[in-house]
Amino acid sequence: MFDPNAFLSATLTEPTTKREPLPIGDYVAVIEKLEAKSWAKEGREGVYLETFLGLQIPPDLQQSAGLSASFTLKTTIFLDITEQGNLDTSKGKNRALGMYREALDMNKTGDTFSPNAMVGRTILAKLGHKVSDKGIFEEITGVAKLA
């Protein structure tokens, strides 16, 4: 098991290396876990879901990128909450959550829905790139139903 305190005294002989981002495209992904969190900034507050997606990496990319069969990416779904503290289900609200529900076929009138029911389910994840002053990074730009 990794010991964080022992790590502080450890010596390394190998450099840390950067890998190239995965190519832009569609990947099969499993929703591995969700974490609900709250935020507060400049007098405002809210709730979001951290969504951990296990992208299934095709064998040819596994070899060229030096990755295993699955690569986990975290994405954030910000939630619209009513003043009463409930999820806002009015028209145009919670669009990102709605995209996930549509992709999972869990967005039908009358059906019972719980975010935890999303865990372990498979979707199609659209991978894009985000450019920052620190480099190019992968990001999930959309989700859809598997064909």
* Residue range 9-29, pLDDT digits in tens: 999 999 988 888 899 999 999
3-state DSSP assignment of residue 102: helix
Distance CA 141, CA 138 (A): 9
CA–CA dist 36, 78 (Å, integer): 10
Whole-number percent of the chain with pLDDT over 70: 100
- How far apart CA 77 and CA 31 sit, in angstroms, is 13
For the segment 108-132, what is each residue's pLDDT rounded down to a tens digit? 989 899 999 999 999 999 999 999 9
Strand, coil or helix: 51 = strand
pLDDT in tens, 96-113: 999 999 999 999 989 899
How far is it, in rounded angstroms, from Cα 47 to Cα 76? 10
Tally the C-alpha atoms within 13 A of residue 78's C-alpha that lie toward its C-beta: 6
Alpha carbon distance 116, 67 (integer Å): 28
Q: Which two tokens stand for residue 53?
A: 């997606």
pLDDT at 98 (0 to 100): 95
Q: What confidence tier does 66 reach under pLDDT thresholds 50, 70, 90?
A: confident
Instruction: For residues 145 and 128, give the distance between their C-alpha atoms in angstroms, rounded to a whole number.
Output: 18
- What would the pLDDT profile of 44-60 be if each residue is shown by its tens digit? 889 999 999 999 999 98
